[in-house]
């Protein structure tokens, strides 16, 4: 029987520890972690994400600002707002919800955020820090995946991790974290993407398979070997007439059949998803406590 990795349980334990540490930070140093969230336009999924992030701040006792600007907001206005937040000492973390409207250059906006406040870990300085093994903010979803693996005491040293997907938010940073020479990582890593004629030639050799491609039920039981650890980052809507909403959420992995061959597997929902916000909260706490020392 496969271990079903419980992201809700792990994220709740991280959040409850953070809540205690936040009380301590307030009492001992008189500091309250502050997160500024920017949403531009009316993307329904983005609205849900930003609301969840705001709610998480409230539950932990963080200070938060949510700025919701119209779709027509200019790039210059966004850059000016980020500059104000960069200089505001009550704001320790800045998050611009992506995607942005097409007329706004996402890279320019990402570059405008001060690296020491970039709690998403998307700034190229933070990506560079990750690659060369310097302290810095790590992107939340990859960091959450490593926390899950650690919580379930799955050893990565010398193991073959296959990452399906090469996005800037998940695949690339995660692959670069997995091979780092740390106690929790030190794995052998293969990055696999759409150019592979048959990804099964790679995935069948995985001790740990991480899938982040956004294709419903793509990974089937013939993609994996017995005893594999499977981490499913996908969140896909598929039509379901029996559900009230008319759809249900599934991952990139055909869970029911792949779990039969797995040592451990994350479900969707309730696997990786809940970890992302927990890691955002952790990054914001780190930013407020000054633990990452960006002056060096
Ligand atoms: N859009 C989808 N995922 C993310 C994320 O992790 N951070 C931000 N800022 N936008 C996103």
Q: What is the pLDDT of residues 59-103, one digit of tens each?
A: 999 999 999 999 999 999 999 999 999 999 999 999 999 999 999
Mean pLDDT on 4-17: 98
Alpha-carbon torsion, ordered 72, 74, 79, 84, to 10 deg: -70
Q: How far apart are CA 202 and CA 208, in angstroms?
A: 11
- Domain positions in the chain: 30-114, 140-273
Q: How far apart are CA 28 and CA 41, in angstroms?
A: 40
Q: Starting from the edge strand earliest in sequence, which strands make up the sheet with 228-232, in order?
A: 3-4, 262-265, 228-232, 208-211, 160-164, 188-192
Ligand 1, atom 8: nearest CA belongs to which residue?
97
Which of 169, 172, 274, 278, when mutated, tests ligand 1's pocket best, judged by the most ligand atoms within 8 Å of its CB?
Answer: 169
Known catalytic residues?
A: 53, 97, 120
Q: How far apart are CA 119 and CA 38, in angstroms?
A: 13
CA atoms within 13 A on the CB side of 242: 0
Q: Is 164 near ligand 1, meaning CB less than 6 Å away?
A: no
Per-residue pLDDT tens digits for 135-145: 999 999 999 99
pLDDT of residue 295: 67
pLDDT of residue 25: 98
- DSSP letter, residue 101: P
> How far apart are the CA of 99 and the centre of ligand 1, in A?
8
Mean pLDDT on 250-259: 98
Residue 296, pLDDT > 60, answer no
Q: Is 140 near ligand 1, meaning CB less than 6 Å away?
A: yes
CATH of domain 30-114: 3.40.50.10860
Q: Is 97 near ligand 1, meaning CB less than 6 Å away?
A: yes
Q: Is 235 near ligand 1, meaning CB less than 6 Å away?
A: no
> How far apart are the CA of 260 and the centre of ligand 1, in A?
32
pLDDT of residue 293: 81
Mean pLDDT on 35-39: 98
Residue 258, pLDDT > 70, answer yes
Would 30-114 and 140-273 be classified into the same CATH topology?
Answer: yes
CA atoms within 13 A on the CB side of 53: 32
> How far apart are the CA of 231 and the centre of ligand 1, in A?
19
pLDDT of residue 72: 98
Per-residue pLDDT tens digits for 182-208: 999 999 999 999 999 999 999 999 999
* Right CATH for 140-273 from 2.60.40.10, 1.10.10.60, 3.40.50.720, 3.20.20.70: 3.40.50.720
Q: Determine the atom of ligand 1 nearest the C-alpha atom of 120.
A: 7
Q: Determine the atom of ligand 1 nearest the C-alpha atom of 139.
A: 6
Q: Is 120 near ligand 1, meaning CB less than 6 Å away?
A: yes
Name the one residue in this structure whose structure tokens are 């990804």: 199
Residue 149, pLDDT > 90, answer yes
Ligand 1, atom 3: nearest CA belongs to which residue?
98
Q: Is 39 near ligand 1, meaning CB less than 6 Å away?
A: no
Q: Determine the atom of ligand 1 nearest the C-alpha atom of 141.
A: 6
Per-residue pLDDT tens digits for 108-123: 999 999 999 999 999 9
pLDDT of residue 294: 86
- DSSP letter, residue 236: E
């Amino acid at each position: 029987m496969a271990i079903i990795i419980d992201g809700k349980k792990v994220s709740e334990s991280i959040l409850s520890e953070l809540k205690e540490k936040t009380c301590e930070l307030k009492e001992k140093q008189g500091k309250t972690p502050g997160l500024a969230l920017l949403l531009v336009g009316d993307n329904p999924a983005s609205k849900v994400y930003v609301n969840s992030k705001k709610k998480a701040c409230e539950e932990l006792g963080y200070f938060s600002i949510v700025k919701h600007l119209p779709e027509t907001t200019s790039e210059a206005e966004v850059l000016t707002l980020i500059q104000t937040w960069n200089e505001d000492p009550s704001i320790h973390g800045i998050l611009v919800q992506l995607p942005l409207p097409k007329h706004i250059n996402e890279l320019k906006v990402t570059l405008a955020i001060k690296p020491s406040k970039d709690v998403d870990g998307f700034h190229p300085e933070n990506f560079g820090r990750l690659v060369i093994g310097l302290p810095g903010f790590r992107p939340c979803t990859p960091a959450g995946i490593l926390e899950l693996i650690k919580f379930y005491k799955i050893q990565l040293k010398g193991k073959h991790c296959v990452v399906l997907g090469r996005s800037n938010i998940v695949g690339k940073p995660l692959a670069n974290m997995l091979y780092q020479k740390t106690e929790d990582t030190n794995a052998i890593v293969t990055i696999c993407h759409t150019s592979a004629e048959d990804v099964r030639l790679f995935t069948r050799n995985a001790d740990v398979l991480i899938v982040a491609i956004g294709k419903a039920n793509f990974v089937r039981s013939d993609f994996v070997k017995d005893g594999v650890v499977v981490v499913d980052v996908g969140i896909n809507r598929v039509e379901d007439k029996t559900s009230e909403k008319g759809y249900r959420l599934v991952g990139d992995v055909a869970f029911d059949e792949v779990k039969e061959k797995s040592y451990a597997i994350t479900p969707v929902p309730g696997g990786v998803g809940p970890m992302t916000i927990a890691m955002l909260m952790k990054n914001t706490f780190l930013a407020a406590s000054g633990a990452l020392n960006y002056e060096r």
